[in-house]
Structure 1
Amino acid sequence: MPLDALIFDFDGLLMDTETTLLETWRWEWRQHGLEMPVEGFFADHGGDVNEQRYALLAAAVGESFDRTASHSRRTAYRDVLHERLEPAPGIRDWFDEARAQGLRIAVASSSPEHWVHPNLARAGLLDRVDVSAFGNEVEAHKPDPAVYLLALARLGITPDRAVAFEDTPHGVAAAQAAGLRCVAIPNAYVPLERFGKADLVLASATDAPLRTVIAEIS
């Protein structure tokens, strides 16, 4: 059956916001003369764990920790990093190919709209996205399939008419639980062996033209 749409995760897949997230937290710890423990930094789900991260930092700093000032400083630094953040390698070409092939593009992210849309707009991708679904619109985050089911409903298609693209194992699980085939482009912080259930694994979107990727999983 021919495809109608491609559904992309956002963080770490369309743009490498995972690296910038890690960098902002390392930077903030260093403002206190500390080195952040990286193990366990990235959660195995799509929910927001920043409060836990602030709690860990507060425990390391002690009574002098100012949560409001820390958040303001860290997010200001994040915004500076994101001013020059480009789409992941090959993504622009894939979006161009999708348009040429008449495929719609959707984004299904556990992050909220106020995070995803401004980043996509700054990178020049937002006007190419036909449908979006966000974590703040559903009751459960990836690996729960809710955000993918919402994206499919807004596209008005069944899962066999779309393919998902993800960068984490819990994202792959969410897409497949929604009935979608899923291509994984693992981010740098997850071991490759954890992507065994993906329908196809690529190092990046530059590995193959979109038409070749679609043909491999069809």
Structure 2
Amino acid sequence: MFAAAIFDMDGLLIDSERPIMAAWIDAARTLDIELSHSQYMQVVGLSTSESQAVLAALLGGDEAYLHAIDQVRQRLQLERSDGEPLFPIKTGAAEFLDALRARGIRCAVASSSTRGQIQACLGSLDLLHHFSAFAGGDEVARAKPDPALYLLAAQRLEVAPADCIAFEDSENGAKAALAAGMRVVVVPDLKHPPAAIVERAFHVLESLHHAVPHLPLWFPAETARLP
């Protein structure tokens, strides 16, 4: 049915949203600002420039934002020093990627993170070998929900967008994949997608572990394209 799989990264393949949110909430407290979970949720799924604008507004301006992001970077760097991955693999992600590779299915990443960040994060978790192509937020002019990232990933896979299935956790990501002409499986992370996205989604699953039983239908043996 499909020839390739394209994945978002943050909140889908790696559990990054929670530690980053916690770091921002703690950083806001150093400015005597109580940044709530619901306020932070406004930035989930946005591009770096968009999230910077929202956070600066919430924190009281660019100067406060620069102070806070320095605190965030310091905290995340300290957490990385204990020998454990800063952003662990999400439940079912390694299992699903192994199953796709066993069937010879080409995979790509289409993430708002920069291409360097994608490769660093996935490399630290020994996941890079699962992917034939990468499309980072620094390589396109327009961020999700614009389809540019997904179209670039499909182009690099040399697969038509209609022959790709996208896996996303965020509303903007799902909108981007749908706009690219792909079917979308939504695996919610910090927040559940709105009804309008649920209605248009191919499936909404609790984790990528729950995607494994669908593989024979989504990727029949004859669609395998790995060299």
The reply on whether 1:72 has 2:75 as its aligned counterpart is no
Identity fraction in percent: 32
Contact 2:8/2:111 (8 A) holds in 1? yes
Q: Normalised by the size of structure 1, how large is the TM-score?
A: 0.85
Match of 1:62? Answer: none
Question: 1:191 offset after TM fit, Å?
Answer: 4.7
Match of 2:200? Answer: 197
Contact 1:199/1:217 (8 A) holds in 2? no
Letter in 2 for 1:139: A
Contact 2:171/2:194 (8 A) holds in 1? no
Letter in 2 for 1:110: S
- Structure 1's consecutive aligned runs of 4 or more residues displaced over 6 angstroms after TM superposition are none
Letter in 1 for 2:209: T
Deviates more, 1:147-156 or 1:127-136: 127-136
Q: Structure 1, unaligned stretches of length 5 or more?
A: 60-64
Match of 1:10? Answer: 9
Match of 2:110? Answer: 108
Give the distance between the partners of 2:104 and 2:26, measured in 1 at CA. Answer: 43
Root mean square deviation, CA, Å: 2.5
More helix by share: 2
Figure out how many residues of one structure are paired with residues of the other and give that number.
Answer: 212
Give the distance between the partners of 1:20 and 1:136, measured in 2 at CA. Answer: 23
Question: 1:68 offset after TM fit, Å?
Answer: 4.6
Give the distance between the partners of 2:161 and 2:55, measured in 1 at CA. Answer: 36
1:115-168: CA deviation from partner (whole Å, max 9, x where unpaired): 222111112112322100111111111111111111111111112322110001
Match of 2:224? Answer: none
Contact 2:6/2:166 (8 A) holds in 1? yes
Distance 1:89 1:44, change over 3 A: closer
Deviates more, 1:74-83 or 1:200-209: 74-83
Q: Structure 2, unaligned stretches of length 5 or more?
A: 221-227
Match of 1:35? Answer: 34
